[in-house]
Structures are given as structure tokens and as C-alpha cells.
């Protein structure tokens, strides 16, 4: 992993955790667990998907789909 990839992934993750806290009223621990246990995070963590390079809101929409479809709780 390059430094740039790590930086972008961490920034994206931070934004998404903040969205989860604001939108779902989760505490920081639950928001982090929700993200880290998701398929979305797996995709963010894989450089070949290019998802880490997209906007935070766009990537968050994938996580919201997972939550709405009961893929993660």
C-alpha cells in the first residue's frame, strides 16, 4: 500500500464514520465497527476497486445500501 492510498482510505473512513454518527446516532465505537465489518470497507481497502478515490458521500451510499438491506447490523 502506498502512503497516498492509506491517506485517502483513512480520510474516507473518517468521513463515513462521521456520517454514521450523524445519520444513525451511533457512538464512535459502534460506527467504527459498522464500517469495519462492512463489504463497503472491504472494497475501500482493495486498491484495485478504485473506490477509495471516490467521494465520501458516494461511498457512504454503498454502506447505506448494506444497512438498509440488512447485510450488516
Average per-residue pLDDT in the chain? 93
Residue with cell 446516532: 25
Three-class secondary structure assignment of 1-69: CCHHHHHHHHHHHHHHHHHHHHHHCCCHHHHHHHHHCCHHHHHHCCHHHCHHHCCHHHHHHHHHHHHHC
Instruction: Compute the Cα dihedral for 34, 36, 39, 43 and give only its sign.
Output: positive
pLDDT over 60 at 33, yes or no: yes
pLDDT over 60 at 3, yes or no: yes
Average pLDDT over every residue of 2-15 = 95
Q: What pLDDT is attached to residue 27?
A: 97
Each domain of the chain, given as residue ranges in start order, spans: 3-68
Q: What pLDDT is attached to residue 73?
A: 56
Amino acid at each position: 500500500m502506498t502512503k497516498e492510498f492509506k491517506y485517502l482510505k483513512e480520510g474516507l473512513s473518517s468521513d463515513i464514520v462521521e456520517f454514521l454518527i450523524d445519520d444513525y446516532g451511533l457512538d464512535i465505537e459502534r460506527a467504527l465497527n459498522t464500517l469495519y465489518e462492512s463489504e463497503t470497507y472491504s472494497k475501500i481497502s482493495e486498491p484495485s476497486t478504485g473506490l477509495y478515490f471516490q467521494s465520501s458521500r458516494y461511498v457512504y451510499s454503498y454502506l447505506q445500501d448494506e444497512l438498509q438491506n440488512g447485510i450488516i447490523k
